[in-house]
Chain A
Amino acid sequence: MFGAGGGTSSYREVEETDVIFLWGANARDNHPIFFHHVLKAIRRGARMFACDPRRTSTAQWADAWLGLHVGTDIALANAMARVIIHAGLANQAFIANATSGFEAYRAAVEQYTLARAERITGVPGEVIERAALAYARADRAVICWTLGITEHHNAVDNVLSLINLALLTGHVGRYGSGLNPLRGQNNVQGGGDMGAIPNRLAGFQDWTKDAAVKAKFDAAWGIDMKAQYGRNLSQMFEGMEHGEVRAVYAIGENPAQSEADQNRAERLLTGLDHLVVQDIFLTRTAELATVVLPASASWCESEGTVTNSERRVQRVRKALEPPPGARDDMWIIAEIAKRLGHDWGQPSAEAVWNEVRSLAPMVAGMSYPRLEREGGLHWPCYDETHPGEQFLHGRLWQQPRGGPAAPFSVVEHDPPVEMPDAEYPFQLTTGRRLDSYNTGVQTGGFTSPLRRGETVDISPEDAASLGVGEGDRVRVSSRRGSVVAPVRVDSSLRAGLVFMTFHHQDQVKTNVLTIDATDPKSGTAEFKACAVRIEPVAAAVTT
């Protein structure tokens, strides 16, 4: 957001805020300990609104659940904006001081009347209005989101529609007000921080646009970097499709099972000239590899740091010896470098971190001793005396404003690429469950009493109309593939909406159903919406 990729608020602020929006985020199940901070706020009296097609366990805590149709988030956000503007609650002083593009935004959201929004989203207009007014009138308010916002073909627009709301009301850059994507993996934030993204180096520095940055890195590494971004994951697969990408080195990623349209993903990976997989498991992807490099588990068999959703950098430490043959990731990379003619020695995690600190100002102050002593530090933390920033973008409130203006973005409702029709009458949305994690490679290791295997969750109404009950097996088919799974009747769903996870890929390959419609800006696929058909099958049939 506005130049730095990270949630703007700390968890502590979430506890002390007044209104919380959990938007496309089932934090109760997927970020349980973050939800503890939300619960603290609720127990203090804060109001919570949940925007989610399903009435999830998170939504059941909400003062109001806004059960929008899948992929109608922009219509909802824009309608809220219109309510706020018409109620005279737009924060004019903040808009004038800190933002740009408001007039175009105002004109755009004017089209999103409550009646129209109700038609698009399904959410009663008065509920939208109530939520909008609560947000705008709050002294402090945060919006948090997860994959319900980002796993869409228009993921970035979705995020921008939420940022717009914060800019409209001034709910960013202040203690207790902010915008927070909740990260799905323990170091997805840290990966970005470290430059493990195609368009930034460590510390979100753009070497293609900032000559000083390029000069700094070139000097440090003794190279002359090409001023060209890399590919994001979707672009890599596109590259494979077009024969431009012929070799892949996958570290700790299982794209053969985690990508949408799984059949395509497997085909492309199989067709590579060379696939190197470095993982702690022999995953499905590793099974396709030319070379497999067994790695140590980064969180308990090696040293380092990770960054969480509140931008707090924390230490991971080695507690166990890895199993025979498995090596530390850094060791493997250094050895590969050596084979390629670059002897980096065997640097310690701390030494590597110190190099990052020397090049990325936002973490410069975070020495290992400080991280140990202070239980982690929030970036930015510019020097050894800097306490780290609890929230970002305070500059927007400075007068005159520090740095560039935060732009409003005109974004329009754009429904999911594949909508239900006569042939595929149900909308499938995917997500996660409390006790499992992504493709289940790790969580499959323990016996969860909550786990019931993969199911197709359907509403009581659909169960009745299909003539199926709890545990009955059904065939779920999309234009791309078909799976068989037992039914779970779930009253948190409405008629026409069905839900699956991809936690049990060996059992039910949910991702053969999902659509590979990706957002051009972020590369995320539309896991949250595709059209399917459901047919009861005889009990004896299996996949």
Chain B
Amino acid sequence: MDLHLLDAAPTPAERAAIDAFLGPPKDGWTGGAREPQDAHTAAGGHHSRSQRHLLLPALLAVQRRVGWISAGSLMYLCQRLTIPPADAYGVATFYALLPTAPRPPRVVHVCDDIGCRVRGAEAVCAELERTVGPAHHPPTGTSHELPAIGSGWIRSPCLGLCEEAPAALLTQAGATPVERLFGNATAGRIAAVLAGNDSTADQTRAPIPQAGDPDLLLLRRVDRIDPTDLDAYRAHGGYQALRLALDLGPDGVIREIADSKLAGRGGAAFPTGRKWDAVAKQPVRPHYVVCNADESEPGTFKDRVIMEKDPYSVVEAMTVAGFATGSEQGFIYLRGEYPLARTRLQHAIDQATSRGLLGDNIMSRPVRFTIEIRVGAGAYICGEETAIFNSIEGFRGEPRNKPPFPVQIGLFGKPTVVNNVETLVNVLEVLRLGGPQYAAIGTAGSTGTRLFCLSGHVARPGVYEVPSGTTLRRLLELAGGVAGGRALKAVLLGGAAGGFVRADEIDLPLSFEATRAAGATLGSGVVMVFDDTTDFADILRRIAAFFRDESCGQCVPCRVGTVRQEEALHRLQAHRPIGGTAAELALLDEIGLAMKDASICGLGQTAYSAVESAIKRLKLFDGVAPR
């Protein structure tokens, strides 16, 4: 295609980073030196344009090397991949981790989202402002000078390490880039990291509170085995499910899944067996399996724990999914803020490949499956099942309209199974136990066990596995109750897209049917605890700001509605309501209903959920008079 490139050249480091990822350019037309044969022929057609899906990983390669996406690096990438520069710019500017203005090479992203907020994140940020300086801001205007200092800090939405709140992420660009997610982030520690005293090298995580509990299913290997050791995984039941699956055949696997009544754990609770069956029956080929590991719902970290501590289970489960649905290629779409999970998963994939558990002849059968990790770059919306496709394909991570559904037209326009990490690892248990036996766990409408992410004002935060239908009270007891013995005020169930329940509602059984009946949701398994000291107006504003920041901007109800929602909450918080509190609450309800009813995807449809529950369930603003 006829590209029009800006007159900007990559630096040697940028060129090297791109060439290291893509390999050297093939000819003078795509970025190499002009050779004699280039004078008379060139390719530029379908094949050249088919490399679009390499854009995001290539951008990330540049980001890891130099810390931002310059015009020179973008032009070179566009030439290499035959992508129009404006298009590539539109993609880069979609992602928070791909700045298109200079940013220092060493950046600490400090979580100030709700989970960390109630554990002192604001105080950390305030102290950083005092000791280190204000958070890094993009330069205004067109100045593209490199920053004088080599480090800076920046606020971040939830980093998925809520059990060790406050959390932070170090990204250090360079020839040997460093990316580390760390918890217990004090201002002093962050300042030291910014100054180059890296105290984050030890990636040991706190053990899960239930470690060693013999009743665990999904978490039974977590903190019991070396997550890098394939033999240890096998010694603890690993790869039994895949062997069973190969013996059962695709139809048999799908029957077991259907009998298990396993439902998706990502939030929508769609029956997994039906999804797999639908893809398996599609005549169009190829089929794809996508593991949704873009865990970004504020307060959610269960998938991270599995990926960090039991990565082979994800690889095995995806292989089962591929076999059952007739897919030979799987993608793990992993959020960019999980570097340790990436390392562990890649190691597991490599080991499994070298042992014949991935590749062309899996377990010596004529079964082929490969897995590729695709890393996100800071966009909550990419966890939406169709936004994932656009992101993998190299486009802006905007959700697609449904129908058509992914089982019909998914990744690269082909039938695709998208399952979240927790859902997939459940498949191993379904096969191990058998569908009916699995279905006997939990409740009739919510089978199996569930992982819950306890955070906030709770004594022992962490991931907990309990049978579906366990009451919230029981779960809170497991976690040691409210931290510091304070009174429980509310629990946020399901994350920012979920809703609050009151302290007097904690006998609620945590099943799909019970929460639905109560007007709540399990969502992604967030159980965030708030005590009686909580400033809920501040929490709500942070939630509203989160949705405003993470809206992709496609549809009007979400793009503008999230802004108007934040503004109204801001006015309420500042005690400057337009027309009184009741009028503001009515307005919020009108905004919320339109977002819920008319938005394209789940983000907009749920952007009012938590706010609505705080207003209607917690009666947060009742009796609040304008100042």
CA distance A244 to B47 in the complex (A): 58
Q: Is A398 an interface residue (CB 8 A)?
A: no
Would you give the shortest CB distance from B261 to chain A, in whole angstroms? Answer: 42
Q: Is B41 in contact with A61, judged by CB distance below 8 angstroms?
A: no
Given contacts A55-B29, A57-B2, A60-B1, whether A66 and B41 have CB atoms under 8 Å apart is yes
Q: Is B39 in contact with A494, judged by CB distance below 8 angstroms?
A: yes
Given contacts A61-B2, A123-B40, whether A47 and B45 have CB atoms under 8 Å apart is yes
Q: Is A65 in contact with B44, judged by CB distance below 8 angstroms?
A: yes
**Complex contacts, B1 vs chain A, CB 8 Å:** 60-61
**Complex contacts, B46 vs chain A, CB 8 Å:** 42, 45, 47, 63
Q: Is B37 an interface residue (CB 8 A)?
A: yes
Cβ < 8 Å to A, chain B residues 1-32 = 1-3, 29
Number of interface residues of B (CB under 8 A): 15
Interface string of A48-81 (1 = CB under 8 A from B): 1000000101111111111110000000000000
Cβ < 8 Å to A, chain B residues 24-82 = 29, 34, 37, 39-47
Q: Which residue of B has the minimal Cβ distance to A493?
A: B39
Q: Which residue of A has the minimal Cβ distance to B28?
A: A491
Q: Is B34 in contact with A461, judged by CB distance below 8 angstroms?
A: yes
Q: Is B44 in contact with A61, judged by CB distance below 8 angstroms?
A: yes
Interface string of A486-516 (1 = CB under 8 A from B): 0000010011000000000000000000000
Q: Which of B29, B37, B45, B47 contacts A61 (CB 8 A)?
A: B45
Would you give the shortest CB distance from B103 to chain A, in whole angstroms? Answer: 32
Q: Which residue of B has the minimal Cβ distance to A123?
A: B40
Q: Is B34 in contact with A63, judged by CB distance below 8 angstroms?
A: no
CA distance A28 to B1 in the complex (A): 10
Q: Which residue of B has the minimal Cβ distance to A131?
A: B41
Q: Which of B34, B42, B47 contacts A67 (CB 8 A)?
A: B42
Q: Which of B3, B29, B39 contacts A495 (CB 8 A)?
A: B39
Q: Is B2 in contact with A63, judged by CB distance below 8 angstroms?
A: no
**Complex contacts, A61 vs chain B, CB 8 Å:** 1-2, 44-45
Q: Which of B3, B34, B39, B43 contacts A64 (CB 8 A)?
A: B43
Q: Is B44 in contact with A67, judged by CB distance below 8 angstroms?
A: no
Q: Which of A42, A63, A122, A127 contacts B39 (CB 8 A)?
A: A122
* Most chain A beta-carbon neighbours within 10 Å: one of B1, B29, B41: B41
**Complex contacts, A57 vs chain B, CB 8 Å:** 2
**Complex contacts, B29 vs chain A, CB 8 Å:** 55
**Complex contacts, B2 vs chain A, CB 8 Å:** 28, 57-58, 60-61
Q: Is A67 in contact with B41, judged by CB distance below 8 angstroms?
A: yes
**Complex contacts, A63 vs chain B, CB 8 Å:** 43-47
CA distance A63 to B42 in the complex (A): 8
Q: Which residue of B has the minimal Cβ distance to A57?
A: B2
Would you give the shortest CB distance from B534 to chain A, in whole angstroms? Answer: 54
Q: Which residue of B has the minimal Cβ distance to A39?
A: B1
CA distance A6 to B44 in the complex (A): 30
Q: Is A124 an interface residue (CB 8 A)?
A: yes
Q: Is A294 an interface residue (CB 8 A)?
A: no
Would you give the shortest CB distance from A439 to chain B, in whole angstroms? Answer: 26
CA distance A460 to B33 in the complex (A): 12
Q: Is B45 in contact with A123, judged by CB distance below 8 angstroms?
A: no
* Most chain B beta-carbon neighbours within 10 Å: one of A47, A59, A60, A123: A60
Given contacts A55-B29, A60-B3, whether A65 and B42 have CB atoms under 8 Å apart is yes
Q: Is B41 in contact with A60, judged by CB distance below 8 angstroms?
A: no
Size category of the binding interface on chain A: 20 to 34
**Complex contacts, A123 vs chain B, CB 8 Å:** 40-41
**Complex contacts, A65 vs chain B, CB 8 Å:** 41-44
Q: Is A64 in contact with B40, judged by CB distance below 8 angstroms?
A: no
Q: Is A64 in contact with B37, judged by CB distance below 8 angstroms?
A: no
Q: Is B45 in contact with A68, judged by CB distance below 8 angstroms?
A: no
**Complex contacts, A494 vs chain B, CB 8 Å:** 39-40
Would you give the shortest CB distance from A49 to chain B, in whole angstroms? Answer: 9
**Complex contacts, A64 vs chain B, CB 8 Å:** 41-43, 45
CA distance A48 to B49 in the complex (A): 13
Given contacts A60-B2, A61-B2, A460-B34, whether A127 and B45 have CB atoms under 8 Å apart is no
Q: Is A124 in contact with B45, judged by CB distance below 8 angstroms?
A: no
CA distance A523 to B1 in the complex (A): 35
Cβ < 8 Å to B, chain A residues 245-282 = none
Q: Is A491 in contact with B34, judged by CB distance below 8 angstroms?
A: yes
Q: Is A122 in contact with B40, judged by CB distance below 8 angstroms?
A: yes
**Complex contacts, A59 vs chain B, CB 8 Å:** 42, 44
Cβ < 8 Å to B, chain A residues 121-171 = 121-124, 127
**Complex contacts, B3 vs chain A, CB 8 Å:** 60
Q: Which residue of A has the minimal Cβ distance to B3?
A: A60
CA distance A122 to B45 in the complex (A): 21
**Complex contacts, A62 vs chain B, CB 8 Å:** 42, 44-45
Would you give the shortest CB distance from A498 to chain B, in whole angstroms? Answer: 14
Q: Is A67 in contact with B39, judged by CB distance below 8 angstroms?
A: yes
CA distance A63 to B1 in the complex (A): 9
CA distance A64 to B39 in the complex (A): 13
Would you give the shortest CB distance from B38 to chain A, in whole angstroms? Answer: 8
CA distance A4 to B44 in the complex (A): 35
**Complex contacts, A68 vs chain B, CB 8 Å:** 40
Q: Which residue of B has the minimal Cβ distance to A68?
A: B40
Cβ < 8 Å to A, chain B residues 271-296 = none
Interface string of B126-139 (1 = CB under 8 A from A): 00000000000000
Interface string of A313-329 (1 = CB under 8 A from B): 00000000000000000
Q: Which residue of A has the minimal Cβ distance to B1?
A: A61
Q: Which residue of A has the minimal Cβ distance to B4?
A: A57
Q: Is A124 in contact with B44, judged by CB distance below 8 angstroms?
A: no
Would you give the shortest CB distance from A268 to chain B, in whole angstroms? Answer: 39
**Complex contacts, B42 vs chain A, CB 8 Å:** 55, 59-60, 62, 64-65, 67
Q: Is B44 in contact with A127, judged by CB distance below 8 angstroms?
A: no
Would you give the shortest CB distance from B126 to chain A, in whole angstroms? Answer: 50
**Complex contacts, B34 vs chain A, CB 8 Å:** 460-461, 491
Cβ < 8 Å to A, chain B residues 506-541 = none
Interface string of A15-59 (1 = CB under 8 A from B): 000000000000010000000000000100101100000010111
Would you give the shortest CB distance from B529 to chain A, in whole angstroms? Answer: 53
Q: Which residue of B has the minimal Cβ distance to A48?
A: B45
* Most chain A beta-carbon neighbours within 10 Å: one of B1, B2, B34: B2
* Most chain B beta-carbon neighbours within 10 Å: one of A45, A63, A461: A63
**Complex contacts, B47 vs chain A, CB 8 Å:** 63
CA distance A122 to B43 in the complex (A): 16
Would you give the shortest CB distance from B177 to chain A, in whole angstroms? Answer: 33
Q: Which residue of A has the minimal Cβ distance to B29?
A: A55
Interface string of A342-357 (1 = CB under 8 A from B): 0000000000000000
Q: Which residue of B has the minimal Cβ distance to A63?
A: B45
CA distance A122 to B38 in the complex (A): 11
**Complex contacts, A48 vs chain B, CB 8 Å:** 45
Would you give the shortest CB distance from A148 to chain B, in whole angstroms? Answer: 15
CA distance A60 to B4 in the complex (A): 11
CA distance A494 to B36 in the complex (A): 9
**Complex contacts, B37 vs chain A, CB 8 Å:** 124
**Complex contacts, B40 vs chain A, CB 8 Å:** 66-68, 121-124, 127, 494
CA distance A63 to B3 in the complex (A): 15
**Complex contacts, B43 vs chain A, CB 8 Å:** 63-65
**Complex contacts, A60 vs chain B, CB 8 Å:** 1-3, 42, 44
CA distance A68 to B42 in the complex (A): 12
Would you give the shortest CB distance from B332 to chain A, in whole angstroms? Answer: 30
**Complex contacts, A58 vs chain B, CB 8 Å:** 2
Cβ < 8 Å to B, chain A residues 436-471 = 460-461
A-B contact pairs, 21 of them (CB 8 A): A42-B46, A45-B46, A55-B42, A60-B1, A60-B44, A61-B1, A61-B2, A61-B45, A62-B45, A63-B47, A65-B42, A65-B43, A65-B44, A66-B40, A67-B40, A67-B42, A68-B40, A121-B40, A123-B40, A124-B37, A460-B34
Interfacial residues, chain B to chain A (CB-CB below 8 A): 1-3, 29, 34, 37, 39-47
Beyond the given pairs A48-B45, A63-B44, A64-B42, 6 more chain A to chain B contacts, judged by CB atoms under 8 angstroms and listed by A's residue number, are A61-B1, A63-B43, A66-B40, A67-B40, A123-B40, A127-B41
**Sorted from nearest, which 4 A-B pairs have the closest CB atoms?**
A63-B45, A57-B2, A494-B39, A67-B40
